[in-house]
Structure 1
Amino acid sequence: MTLNYHDVMTADLSFFTDVSGAWKKMGERFGELKTDYETHVQGVLANGNWQGHAFGAQQQKASATSFEYGAAKAEALAIASLLTDAQTELTRLQKAVKDLVEDAEKKDYKVDSSGKVTYIGYDNLSPQERYTLQHDPDYSRLLADAREKAQGWTDEIAKAVKAVDTADQSVKRALSRATSDVSMDGIGIGGFNTKAEGSLAKAGKPDPKPGKEEGWVSETDSEASGPGVGSEASGPNIGKGKLAEAEAHADLGRAKAEGTLTNGPVKLAGEAEAYAGAKASAAAGITNEGAQAEAKAFAGAEASASGTADAGPVGVYGRAEAMAGVEAGVNAQAGLDGVQLGAEAFAGAKGSVGAGADVGGIGAGATVEGWAGPGAEASLNASKDANGVWHVGPKVGFSPGLGGAVGFEVTVDPGKVVDTVGDAAGWVGDGIGSLF
């Protein structure tokens, strides 16, 4: 069954903790039963007092029984691990959907029970304000712009819901595979699965497409728009912690493309984006998650490209950016997602390259920029991005005519750190198990 918006928003994922704990206890109990059986049944009968064909047949069956106790332990512990991974991943993706809905509502959009978004910013206008708006020469354009933005929110929410459904299908595959024994060990096919995989990332991968061999799997996505113009202003809304915000843009065009290439533990990913036009925005607000204020403007053209290469817990990344035009901005933010402080002003052209490495979810890197034109920049960043990765690092730059900037960055991906620790624990457990 495909999950829909209502399923995702109302799903209670808290029960995973109790169920996973029950499976773990079951696995540990099977391990105790294996020890007791080998000691008090199999071992006692093998004390040398019983010989012959009957003894040989009994010991063969006893060995199979002992093996199945061990296989039952492995299968139960794998399922416990899969359920823990499932709760972590599904909770993260469910939160991403809810965060999108919350962001849309903060900007005076309404999300219905099917995930469709509509703009309601004009609903609370007085009759006089409504009359004035309807006779505004830009009224039709404002309505069209609101509908376009509403459709954008609808598409983003649908994409996030699809991500939850994709993860849910992955959990289904992983649990099914964990409980399927296709080995002739023990009592043969149909017993407990001693080779059950406890990592959702490994066990939940889709089956290879018919007619294709295992190997590199690619995924791509792209989008483009423009030319176009638009603007939006709202606030204050004290109930939602929004003091005011405004945005305007005149786009000549924008384009974005991203893709991944995966083969087992090796994953290559890349992204490229380009924009030409002018845009400006300003916002300020105070909520229970923190306070922020920013203002920025840009006119010109900019482009960027980035890529990563991961092999298990080890990865490297690189990125390049180029800009020609005028930009200025200030920002200050403090809250649950970190602290950001910065100011910049520049006119001319600049290019930058950055590179770094990541081991087990903890990375370090550096950025170097070359500037042709007057400008200055200083920033301090300690914040979490949309994927839950923390970025910490300073950046400074200055140019009277020719100059540049340098920045350093440390990243921490909590999800990847947890996966690495889990894998390491699995390796240790396998190593200890092989000694007995």
Structure 2
Amino acid sequence: MPTYDEIMATDLSALTTAAERWDGMAKAFHTQETAYRRDVHGISMGQSWTGLSADAASKRFDITLKEFQNAQVEAKAVASLLRDAHTQFTDLKKKLESARKDAIEAGMAVSGQGVVSYDTTKLTDGERNALHHDPDYRESVSKAVASWQARIDQLVKDVGEADAGVEIALKAVVLDGNIDDGTLSGFNGQAQGDIEKYEAAAAAEAKKEAQEKKEGWVAEGETSTSGPGTGTSVSGPDAKTGKLGEAEAHADLGRATAEGSLTNGPMKLAGEAEAYAGAKASASATVTNEGFNGGASAFAGAEATASGTADAGPVGVYGRAETMAGAEAGVNAGAGVDGVQLGAEAFAGAKGSVSAGADVGGIGVGVTAEGWAGPGAEASFNFAKDANGTWHVGPKVGVSPLLGGGLGFEFTLNPGKVVDTAGGVADAVGDVLGSVF
């Protein structure tokens, strides 16, 4: 964007000089067209040269002749754009010069960079005294300076916008948009000498692209890696949160996570994956007036998970796969206004599991199946509400002397989503009845 000093110092007559040379270029192309039509293109038009070679040459000669004609159109359009730019810039520069003159006559000083200040060099002793001791006078001066600065800044901005429009036009005028003229990047036979037409076309294209992006698939995602590393943490007790204490220790060989989504209106595909290797242990206990929660767990080995969801309006499905090799043990218990959780597990070996489920209008059901290779046992029951307001009910049991497995079920209910779905159905029924009656 041009600055104030650049605008004031630029010799705009260079634009009209360049326009005259582009007009001269169009005349030169016309001269070459006349010579080419007479001395080259005309050879294939007579009866002295016939046959396949004459037909092939004639087609190529036609394309070249058309290019001479298109070159004239493009050159004249560029000349017209330069004159249009000169007109716009000259008018805006005059307005900027006039604003500067008016500001100076109003008692302001304007620097070479367009910065407005109050000109104190012409003040009387009384005015100078008022400027130092009268708050109202100082405020009126400050407002006047700000007003003139805003006027000059706006005119500089107007020149910048005009400059951007000229740039758009000069870039577009040389593009050959006709793929049927025998060339892929020849002269533009459809060139126009109006800056505003190119600005309007660019604005329409930008609007179209924004709409297509809004209506099309939008991708988002991120990845992260960490390790190796070790660490410990201990906290509590905390009377405000009710936390009696929490301790955690880990020795990570490495961790990697990835997640992403594709969204298109009401349709959304999302997935995430995580891999971990190392050892970790934790224990915590919390008691508040809303309930209690406590648990302890330990793990050593490697594990990986991958999950994905697909939603289309009120209907959604999900899937999840997990693998683990190592040893783990844990116990947890909790009860409060947001539900009840009970569980205990101990296992050593390798296990794999798959989960799948579906949700329609806020009511969902899912199942988990696991295969175990190694001794272990697990039992849990979950009746709780998550951060999204969804209630989960899920019993799970598993046993494996050496080879075995586990089986779990989950039922979910999101009251808010149920109400939204019911409202959508009611609206749809109302629309149908309205169209019938």
Give the TM-score taking structure 2 as reference length: 0.50
Is the alpha carbon distance of 1:418 and 1:213 closer, same or farther for their aligned partners in structure 2, counting shifts above 3 Å? Answer: closer
How many residues are aligned here? 231
Is the alpha carbon distance of 1:207 and 1:390 closer, same or farther for their aligned partners in structure 2, counting shifts above 3 Å? Answer: farther
Aligned counterparts of 1:317 and 1:428: Cα–Cα separation in 2: 29
Aligned counterparts of 2:399 and 2:234: Cα–Cα separation in 1: 33
Q: What pairs with 1:167-316 in structure 2 (closer than 5 Å)?
A: 209=210, 212=213, 214-316=215-317
Q: Which residue of 2 aligns with 1:410?
A: 411
Q: Indicate yes or no: 2:324 matched with 1:323.
A: yes
Is the alpha carbon distance of 1:426 and 1:207 closer, same or farther for their aligned partners in structure 2, counting shifts above 3 Å? Answer: farther
Q: Is the 8 A contact 2:357 2:365 kept in 1?
A: yes
Q: Which residue of 1 aligns with 2:349?
A: 348
What are the superposed Cα offsets for residues 54-81 of structure 1, whole Å, 9 maximum, x if unpaired?
A: xxxxxxxxxxxxxxxxxxxxxxxxxxxx
Q: Which residue of 2 aligns with 1:384?
A: 385
Aligned counterparts of 2:277 and 2:408: Cα–Cα separation in 1: 26
What are the superposed Cα offsets for residues 302-327 of structure 1, whole Å, 9 maximum, x if unpaired?
A: 11111111222222111100001110
Displacement after TM superposition at 1:230 (Å): 1.1
SS of the residue corresponding to residue 326 of structure 2 reads: strand
Displacement after TM superposition at 1:212 (Å): 4.5
Displacement after TM superposition at 1:241 (Å): 1.4
Q: Is the 8 A contact 2:215 2:265 kept in 1?
A: no
SS of the residue corresponding to residue 424 of structure 1 reads: helix
SS of the residue corresponding to residue 419 of structure 1 reads: helix
What are the superposed Cα offsets for residues 130-169 of structure 1, whole Å, 9 maximum, x if unpaired?
A: xxxxxxxxxxxxxxxxxxxxxxxxxxxxxxxxxxxxxxxx
Q: Is the 8 A contact 2:300 2:327 kept in 1?
A: yes
SS of the residue corresponding to residue 240 of structure 1 reads: coil
Is the alpha carbon distance of 1:352 and 1:211 closer, same or farther for their aligned partners in structure 2, counting shifts above 3 Å? Answer: closer
Displacement after TM superposition at 1:367 (Å): 0.5
Displacement after TM superposition at 1:240 (Å): 3.1
Aligned counterparts of 2:325 and 2:388: Cα–Cα separation in 1: 29
Q: Which residue of 1 aligns with 2:21?
A: none
Aligned counterparts of 2:420 and 2:283: Cα–Cα separation in 1: 39
Q: Is the 8 A contact 1:208 1:214 kept in 2?
A: no
Single out whichever of 286-295 and 409-418 deviates more from structure 2.
409-418
What are the superposed Cα offsets for residues 341-400 of structure 1, whole Å, 9 maximum, x if unpaired?
A: 000000010000011111111111110000001000000011122333221110000001
Aligned counterparts of 1:230 and 1:288: Cα–Cα separation in 2: 32
Displacement after TM superposition at 1:210 (Å): 7.0
SS of the residue corresponding to residue 387 of structure 2 reads: coil
Is the alpha carbon distance of 1:227 and 1:377 closer, same or farther for their aligned partners in structure 2, counting shifts above 3 Å? Answer: same
Is the alpha carbon distance of 1:329 and 1:427 closer, same or farther for their aligned partners in structure 2, counting shifts above 3 Å? Answer: same
Q: Which residue of 2 aligns with 1:201?
A: none
SS of the residue corresponding to residue 323 of structure 2 reads: strand
The one-letter amino acid paired with 2:381 is L
Aligned counterparts of 1:253 and 1:207: Cα–Cα separation in 2: 45
Q: Which residue of 2 aligns with 1:177?
A: none
SS of the residue corresponding to residue 295 of structure 1 reads: strand
Q: What pairs with 1:126-205 in structure 2 (closer than 5 Å)?
A: none
Is the alpha carbon distance of 1:337 and 1:207 closer, same or farther for their aligned partners in structure 2, counting shifts above 3 Å? Answer: farther
Aligned counterparts of 1:208 and 1:389: Cα–Cα separation in 2: 37
SS of the residue corresponding to residue 424 of structure 2 reads: helix
Displacement after TM superposition at 1:235 (Å): 2.2
The one-letter amino acid paired with 1:353 is V
Displacement after TM superposition at 1:239 (Å): 4.4
What are the superposed Cα offsets for residues 165-222 of structure 1, whole Å, 9 maximum, x if unpaired?
A: xxxxxxxxxxxxxxxxxxxxxxxxxxxxxxxxxxxxxxxxx99637758322212122
Aligned counterparts of 2:403 and 2:250: Cα–Cα separation in 1: 29
The one-letter amino acid paired with 2:427 is G
The one-letter amino acid paired with 1:288 is N
Displacement after TM superposition at 1:260 (Å): 1.4
Q: Is the 8 A contact 2:220 2:260 kept in 1?
A: yes
> Which structure 1 residue ranges, 5 or more long, are not aligned?
1-205
The one-letter amino acid paired with 1:270 is G
Larger Rg: 2
Q: Which residue of 1 aligns with 2:359?
A: 358
The one-letter amino acid paired with 1:426 is D
> Which structure 2 residue ranges, 5 or more long, are not aligned?
1-206
Displacement after TM superposition at 1:264 (Å): 2.7
Q: Which residue of 2 aligns with 1:419?
A: 420
Aligned counterparts of 1:382 and 1:223: Cα–Cα separation in 2: 32
The one-letter amino acid paired with 2:285 is A
The one-letter amino acid paired with 2:393 is V
What are the superposed Cα offsets for residues 240-266 of structure 1, whole Å, 9 maximum, x if unpaired?
A: 312121111111111211111122322
The one-letter amino acid paired with 2:300 is A
Aligned counterparts of 1:311 and 1:210: Cα–Cα separation in 2: 20
Aligned counterparts of 2:357 and 2:350: Cα–Cα separation in 1: 24
Aligned counterparts of 1:347 and 1:262: Cα–Cα separation in 2: 40
Q: Which residue of 2 aligns with 1:367?
A: 368
Displacement after TM superposition at 1:284 (Å): 0.9
Single out whichever of 273-282 and 229-238 deviates more from structure 2.
229-238
The one-letter amino acid paired with 1:345 is A
CA RMSD of aligned residues (A): 2.0
Aligned counterparts of 2:429 and 2:352: Cα–Cα separation in 1: 46
Aligned counterparts of 1:230 and 1:259: Cα–Cα separation in 2: 29
